[in-house]
Amino acid sequence: MFFIIIRIFPAIPITDFLSYRESFAESNRFSDVQLVEYLKPDTKDQEELRRYVTSNQEENRSYEVCSLMFRTWVLNKQQILIKDPEWLYSGYSTELAFKDSYFFIDDNKTEAFMQFDDGKKYFALFKKKDHKYYLSMIIRYGVIKSGQEPKLLF
């Protein structure tokens, strides 16, 4: 019986299985999920998201790295042209009417939330690989199931 199952279903590496399990747990926190996107650590997408991150930020300021990557992803998804790194980092939040916050879960994991005045809400999960943060998952959602929306500071 065990042999038949292996032949029907290909082997799944344990790291993939754990990643799927974590992703399911993260997405299960939200209701009215409209989008879930997963990104691998070493891809061209990650390189594009890092385009505005400086080496100084990479070494010393993990908040800035996550912020720039998350904002780049959201603006690209909404097809909004990014003027320059300074605008991306500080100036565009008032122009585009949004707020975001970042929560450092541990040394290797950060969560981010973003909400636009028009009601669009995004969640991002960042992980660390080889001492660099990468964007692991994005969820566009309607409501957090617990009812406890994060306090958006910026």
Q: What does the pLDDT look like over 103-145, one tens digit per residue?
A: 988 888 999 999 988 899 999 999 988 888 999 999 999 988 8
| 3-state DSSP assignment of residue 40 | coil
Model confidence at 91, pLDDT cuts 50, 70, 90, reads: low
- pTM listed for this prediction: 0.80
Average pLDDT for 6-21: 58
Alpha-carbon distance values, 49 to 67, 80, 81, 94 (Å) = 10, 14, 14, 21
The pLDDT of residue 14 is above 80: no
Report the alpha-carbon distance of residue 117 to residue 99 in Å, rounded: 8
Report the alpha-carbon distance of residue 4 to residue 21 in Å, rounded: 24
Report the alpha-carbon distance of residue 139 to residue 89 in Å, rounded: 21
Residue 102 contacts by C-beta under 8 Å, 6 or more apart in sequence?
Answer: 63, 66, 67, 110, 111, 112
| 3-state DSSP assignment of residue 121 | strand
User: What's the pLDDT at 78?
Assistant: 86
Q: What does the pLDDT look like over 45-71, one tens digit per residue?
A: 999 998 988 777 766 667 888 989 999
Where does residue 97 fall: left (phi above 0), alpha (psi -120 to 50 degrees), or beta otherwise?
left
Location of structure tokens 């909400």: 115
Task: Round the average pLDDT of the chain to a whole number and report it.
Answer: 81
The pLDDT of residue 26 is above 80: no
Ranges of each domain in the chain = 2-144
The pLDDT of residue 15 is above 70: no
User: What's the pLDDT at 11?
Assistant: 60
Model confidence at 19, pLDDT cuts 50, 70, 90, reads: low
